[in-house]
Chain A
Amino acid sequence: MKPAPFEYHRAYTPQEVVELLRELGEDAKILAGGQSLVPMMNFRLAHPAALIDINPVSGLDYIRREGDELRVGALTRHRSVEISRGAEVRDGFAVLPRAARWIGHYPIRSRGTVGGSIAHSDPTAEWCLLARLHDAEIVVLGEHGTRTVPSEEWFTGFLTTAALPGEMVIETRFRRPRRCAALLEYARRRGDFAIAAAGVAFDVVDDRCQDVTIVLGGVAGRPLRVPEAEAHVQGAEPAESTWAEAARIAAASVEPGAEADGDHDYRRHLVGTLTRRAFREAYETGTDAGPVRGVA
């Protein structure tokens, strides 16, 4: 469990990272928090010829609001989001700190980065699900400057993204604030990768659900939205029966493959449970007049 030999480079600015990526080619990998890459290297599942350590890069660790958008720098640690309490997050993106608590264990959250997770594109990863839930855009920097990729185009499959060779993620822009939102997961032990996950977000206007998004994880190679279930909730009364029917539709609309931690039927069952419970939590926390719950 020791990595194969690799070159180690350190970058201090995003431009240096891009230059190094160009110079070193496709066998180079960016090292941010290292919480996925380093274990993969130790298992020799990844054999990068070179690592570009971006931890010294300054100016990529931030959480800030621009109008409706919440912008999170690529080097922001999970833990920073988890403990954020400011209005920029609370107002419409309160699910982010709550959901960050699902990420691994404390040491992982202290080290791992939002940008690293978005770039890694694990279909159960919290940031990938939250990106889809809040219609995020991913900002990448390449040789020819920055470009912005909508999250629905960014996640192309299991551990694959729309990033082009030589590009690095520099920011994630969460764009659709909503008052009611929740992300729920189930794993057999606390801190494990989820077997399945469900995120929901909506607003309640005149006692009707509006602007509804449902995102599922662990049922496909990338985070999955379920428009049929969203349509059911759209305009409906916020009620247990609405959640139950949406959960039923969501479960029926996915075709999860059988894996070691659960067969097709079990995963569907779990999607139903999590969707229903996510709606319940989203509604309860979102309509609570007090401070956002669940933030330690």
Chain B
Amino acid sequence: MTDTPGPGAAQVGRRVPRKEDHRLLAGDARFGADVQFPRIVHARMVRSPIAHGTVLRVDAAAARELPGVVDVVTAEDLPGDPHIPVRLEVAGTDLGERLQPVLAARTVRYVGEPLAVVVAEDPYVAEDAAELVEIEIDELEVLLDAGRAQGDDIVADFGLGYGDVDSAFEGAAHVIGMDVAVQRHSAVPMEPRALTVGYTHATGCLEIFGSTKVPAFNRQVLAGLLGVDEATIRMHAVDAGGGFGVRGEFYPEDFLIPWLARRLRRPVSWVEDRAEHLVAVNHSREQRHRIEVAVDDEGTILGLRDDVRHDNGAYVRTHGVIVPELTLAMLPGPYRVPAYAGRVRVALTNKTPCGTYRAPGRFEGTMAREQLLDLVAAELGMDRVELRRRNLLAREELPLTRAMHTLGTDVVLDSGDYVGLLDRALSRVDELGWRDLLARGRAEGRVLGQGVSMFLEKSGLGPHDTADVEITSTGRIRVHSGGTSLGQGIETVLAQVVADQFTVSVDLVDVVNGDTMLQPYGTGSWASRSTVVAGSAVLGAGRAVAERVRELGAQLLEAPPEDVEIADGEVRIRGAATNSRSLAEVWRAAQPGSPWLGAGEPAGLSARHRFSVDHMTYPYGAHVCLVEVDPGSGGVTVLRYLVAYEVGRAVNPALVEGQLRGGVAQGVGGALFEEFRYDESGQPQSTTFMDYLMPTASEIPPVDVVLCEDAPAATNPLGARGAGEGGLTGAGAALASAVSDAIGLPAMTGLPLDPETLVAAMARPATVRDRLRTDGIS
């Protein structure tokens, strides 16, 4: 349900229809590949067919001969052996040796690693020519199991924690542990990556279309690698068919395509195809946990330990080792955990390198922790929900500082009512009649189960973001933000925030995101941060412009500034609506030459505001679901799903719900279907949509949402907590919990919950199933 309030009504907090939708639905959106130029040429990557080996020869002679081929480039043509730097550093780690080269020169380390790039007059010829590049590789032994990594293949080994864990475990009545594994999967946006780069030799300027996540950062990296001034590179705002973490990071192509445009003095277009996408973009999620907890007889947590093996694939990419760091930092979640020690070993293997995927590190850690809690409940004969309720932090225990650091900030759980949210989730489930559904289904002999998981999220990462707000000639309001439009609706949200400063409808606001010429200081859209951080920057800039409008408007109205107000997009004398000036009139008064513009005053009505914040804000939530397992096939049907989520303050509840529902869809994929498999030689087995199983509408259940605004964030003026990831964070855990409940296991030891695994699990005698072994069922 949406409503469009008239002018004057507050926009923040309303289900305002998305500003983006008209152009997206009418086919007017502009994606990276939609931008084409005269004389454009098309690039095609040549990728390694071998998982690990010494490159003996990359021979492009035959490819160059093909009519229509413009250029073929291999590693030896590149200047200075470029490698892609880390964007998110983790203190104390040195990853320099294991960064990904733009093109492999001597060694290939995964199937799909770029070896050469072909440029041709049309994309068909480019693909024909790519097949003619002769590659000779001397195969080396492959490492595919992070658990077997040793020496240099362990690129980081670090811990996070607090309290006296050893004592907690020594004195505990029960120590319960298990192994939990999460399979390799990742974001698969509907639009694969695309880059179009224009180059003007006369000015030396590069125009880049298609980089949509952290454009200002990518510009900085590109300028450094090319040895040019950042001012000669402009990243343009484009639409994107989904991001989810993988799109818009700096990949080899993000250097190659601009570099080729300069080398050839021609515009270059590159569009990734799906088969490439599935081996080239960041993979994610592959972790093995050995997790254990010390509890007393009542199930009270005394201490928690986790030993994680993280498979990072062949190289360290832009995320460095931030994903496993996040796993450790967030592992205790919303619970009272007096002592905690987490350790992770980050291994490099001969698979596609890894990075972030929506809810990075937390989807995995939440799965491990919540399965362990299910196991504890089974071992102690307690109800799963009661065990959680007993251990959740109480409202009065917050704020709580955990002596850990992640993403460069301390972990300070700001505020919240975790128990209250769980209660709200469960009472909604009762209202929806799930209890009956479960009981009736079971009475019919069907194999049904209900699952629950609790999670803590993080959002609103600083340290800063910058936004500009400007009034334009017709009295419209323009926002230049550093966020990027990935489909999440950020244009609408930012428009709502600024519209309230002028009490206008969002229709009067234009938002341009991710153009580095318009906004050179933006920090991008990721980590559930844009509404919180960019939104707060827009709020600050909007307030500053409104102040200037009031000041100038007062002069026009010949009244003292305290007597004028801005309402319905006009400046007027309080209580005298007839005596007013429109925003356009105020704009004209601010133009150079205007008698109202003082000699020392800047022309125009605009302001730039930087919002800085030291700490993240921590949303939280619960997932509850109902599943059916078919014993005949092992197939899992998700019958019902509910997410309860604390968002602090919903700028647009409809968009928050959309974010949560989209997250659940990806969670169903990650829990039941999606997996990047490899054979024993490191050949990827999931290179098409026949093998990499994205859930479709048929597999996604109805999703109910309980949207809570009980704990506004104190760290930003909107009171907002981010909402980008919480639909996914608890999904693997909740679905695993429901399946274990259905088939009578105390917990599940891994994802995905595939039919083969479940049939094998159900075939075990009940006596075995009653006690879960740490070697598990998967």
Residues of A within 8 A of B (CB): 1-5, 43-44, 186, 188-193, 195, 260-263, 265-266, 269-270, 273-274, 276-277
Contacts and interface: CB of A to CB of B under 8 A. Distances in A.
A195 B274 CA distance: 23
Given A1-B274, A5-B128, A191-B696, A186 B760 contact: no
A36 B632 CA distance: 30
Contacts of B690: 192-193
B633 A189 contact: no
Contacts of B688: 43
A2 B274 contact: no
A262 B756 contact: yes
A5 B275 CA distance: 19
Contacts of B551: none
Given A2-B127, A192-B690, A260-B677, 19 more contacts: A1-B273, A1-B275, A2-B123, A4-B127, A5-B128, A44-B127, A44-B131, A188-B635, A188-B754, A189-B695, A192-B693, A193-B690, A195-B755, A260-B685, A261-B756, A265-B760, A266-B755, A266-B760, A273-B633
Interface string B247-285: 000000000000000000000000001110000000000
Nearest to B632: A273
B124 to A, nearest CB: 5
Interface in B734-778: 754-756, 759-760, 763
A2 B274 CA distance: 11
Nearest to B272: A1
A195 to B, nearest CB: 8
Given A189-B696, A190-B696, A266 B127 contact: no
B456 to A, nearest CB: 31
Given A1-B273, A260-B677, A260-B691, A188 B128 contact: no
A180 to B, nearest CB: 20
Interface centre among B275, B634, B691 (most CB of A within 10 A): B634
Contacts of A273: 632-633
B635 A186 contact: yes
B275 A43 contact: yes
A44 B128 CA distance: 10
B743 to A, nearest CB: 15
Contacts of A186: 633, 635, 755
B203 interface: no
21 contacts: A1-B273, A1-B274, A2-B124, A2-B127, A3-B124, A5-B128, A43-B275, A44-B127, A188-B672, A188-B673, A188-B755, A189-B696, A189-B698, A190-B696, A190-B699, A192-B693, A260-B685, A263-B756, A266-B759, A273-B632, A277-B632
A260 B690 CA distance: 11
Contacts of A192: 690, 693
Interface in B653-694: 672-673, 677, 685, 688, 690-691, 693
Contact of B673 (A189, A262, A270): A189
B569 to A, nearest CB: 47
A261 B756 CA distance: 8
Nearest to B273: A1
Contacts of B685: 260
Nearest to B675: A260
Nearest to B755: A188
A43 B763 CA distance: 39
A191 B698 CA distance: 10
Interface string B687-711: 0101101011011000000000000
A68 to B, nearest CB: 34
Contacts of B763: 269
B629 to A, nearest CB: 13
Interface string B624-641: 000000001111000000
Nearest to B633: A186
Contacts of B755: 186, 188, 195, 262, 266
A264 to B, nearest CB: 10
Contacts of A277: 632
Nearest to B127: A2
A59 B695 CA distance: 40
Contacts of A188: 635, 672-673, 693, 754-755
B698 A190 contact: yes
Contacts of A195: 755
A156 B677 CA distance: 30
Nearest to B758: A266
A193 B690 CA distance: 8
A19 to B, nearest CB: 29
A110 B754 CA distance: 31
A213 B675 CA distance: 37
B45 to A, nearest CB: 12
B171 to A, nearest CB: 45
Contacts of A260: 677, 685, 691
Nearest to B757: A266
A190 B699 CA distance: 8
B128 A4 contact: yes
Nearest to A261: B756
Nearest to B686: A260
Contact of B693 (A189, A265, A269): A189
Interface centre among B127, B632, B677, B695 (most CB of A within 10 A): B632
A265 B760 CA distance: 9
A51 to B, nearest CB: 15
Contacts of A261: 756
A4 B754 CA distance: 37
A37 to B, nearest CB: 15
A36 to B, nearest CB: 11
A5 B632 CA distance: 46
A5 B131 CA distance: 12
A4 B125 CA distance: 9
A43 B685 CA distance: 14
B250 to A, nearest CB: 24
Contacts of B634: 266, 269
A283 to B, nearest CB: 17
Interface centre among A1, A193, A263 (most CB of B within 10 A): A1
Interface string B195-206: 000000000000
B677 to A, nearest CB: 6
Interface string B12-44: 000000000000000000000000000000000
Nearest 8 Cβ contacts at the A-B interface: A273-B632, A1-B273, A190-B698, A266-B756, A186-B633, A262-B756, A2-B127, A2-B124
A260 B275 CA distance: 18
Contacts of B275: 1, 43
A270 B673 CA distance: 18
A2 to B, nearest CB: 5
Contacts of A3: 124
Nearest to A276: B632
Contacts of B672: 188
Nearest to B126: A2
A276 B131 CA distance: 48
A269 B673 contact: no
A1 B687 CA distance: 12
Interface centre among A3, A5, A188, A195 (most CB of B within 10 A): A188
A195 B632 CA distance: 13
Contacts of B673: 188-189
A270 B633 contact: yes
Contacts of B127: 1-2, 4, 44
A272 B127 CA distance: 46
